[in-house]
Amino acid sequence: MIINNYKIVEDKYKTGIIWGYINHNSGEIKFYSPLLSKKIEKSLLEGKKFINIELLNSVIYFEKQSFFQKTNNIITSVFREKIDNKLNYNLIEKKVYLDKKTNKWRLYKKKEHVGILVDLSIENINDYKNIINNIVLKHNENSRINRVKLSNIIKIIYNNNIDLGLVENLDDIFLKKWIKTKNMCDGFIELIKLVDKNQYENEDITLYIVTNSINMNNINIMYDKLMKNGKINTKWKIINIETDEMYLNYLEQINI
């Protein structure tokens, strides 16, 4: 669930900067006091990584992509907003969502989802690593790379503990162990289920499939049926990378 919440700024923030957070139980916008906002802003400008808020028994962390507050191991979304003190009032609007996994409200930031399904039965699988690596690195920092657990013939990429920007060798992000028991169609359904657990309304989804033309044909039939039955929509895109008639040197240069 994603909704837009609003709140009028009633206190005077002389610096023109207001800090606030999202109530994780209700999704309501809350503001830190003018004095506390000033202290938080000072810590940020000084290059600190966090600030202790003793009054609230909390710590606010300043990360590159987001700010958050941690209180008794509960994480709360934090935001920084510029306001115009010359106006009669300022209205703050924030898009929030109910996290499917934690059932807590957080600030919403649209993400792109990427699923990668690789057929390990390909004899020259190592020749395809650069292509797969390009797929991973192509997607920006707002992407979430999804993988199927315990993949076998299917090798799904990306260990979420690894920073994509630091990836130099594809071996670092391939799963190390697998059991060859599943087929590509099973993996395709598993991948869809995994992505669906993580995606929210109107987010773009791209599924890359690396296998031979026979498997690809079966997967495309399944994809069309899922689309027809309304299980997935036009936000779900599938990109076929067939391996039985491939020119590796050419494909590696393509911006997939």
pLDDT for the residue numbered 147 = 45
Co-location of 39 and 134 in the same domain: no
Structural domain boundaries enclosing 235? 112-252
For residue 133, the SS3 value is: helix
Q: How many CB atoms are located within 10 Å of the residue 2 CB?
A: 14
| 129 shares its domain with 38 | no
Same domain membership, residue 157 and residue 193: yes
Can you tell me the distance from the alpha carbon of 217 to that of 209, in angstroms, rounded to the nearest whole number? 11
Point out the domain boundary residue: 76, 107, 138.
107
Tell me, yes or no, whether 98 and 118 share the same domain: no
Beta strands of the chain (E only): which ranges?
2-9, 17-22, 29-31, 50-53, 58-62, 67-71, 74-82, 90-98, 105-107, 112-119, 143-146, 154-155, 205-211, 236-242
Kindly state whether residues 100 and 119 are assigned to the same domain.
no
Is residue 98 domain-shared with residue 181, that is, in the same domain? no
Boundary of a domain, candidates 107, 134, 151: 107
- Per run of 10 residues, the mean pLDDT along the chain (length 256 residues) is 91 92 94 94 94 86 89 92 88 92 89 78 66 64 48 36 48 47 76 82 83 87 91 88 59 43
DSSP state of 201: T
Cα 173 to Cα 157: distance, rounded to the nearest angstrom:
6
- 93 and 118 in a single domain? The answer is no
Pair (17, 129) in one structural domain? no
Give the model's pLDDT for residue 243.
Answer: 75
| Domains identified in the chain, total number | 2
Boundary residue ending a domain (84, 107, 130):
107
Tokens encoding 94:
């924030």
**Do 177 and 53 share a structural domain?**
no
Looking at the structure, do residues 85 and 200 belong to the same domain, yes or no?
no
Q: 248 and 124, same structural domain?
A: yes
- CA diameter of the chain: 69
Give the DSSP per-residue string, 5-61: EEEEE-S--TTSEEEEEE-TTT--EEE--HHHHHHHHHHHHTT-SEEEEGGGTEEEE
Q: Identify whether residues 88 and 17 lie together within a single domain.
A: yes
CATH number for position 66: 3.30.720.50
**CB-CB contact of 153 with 187 (8 Å):** yes
pLDDT reported for residue 154:
36
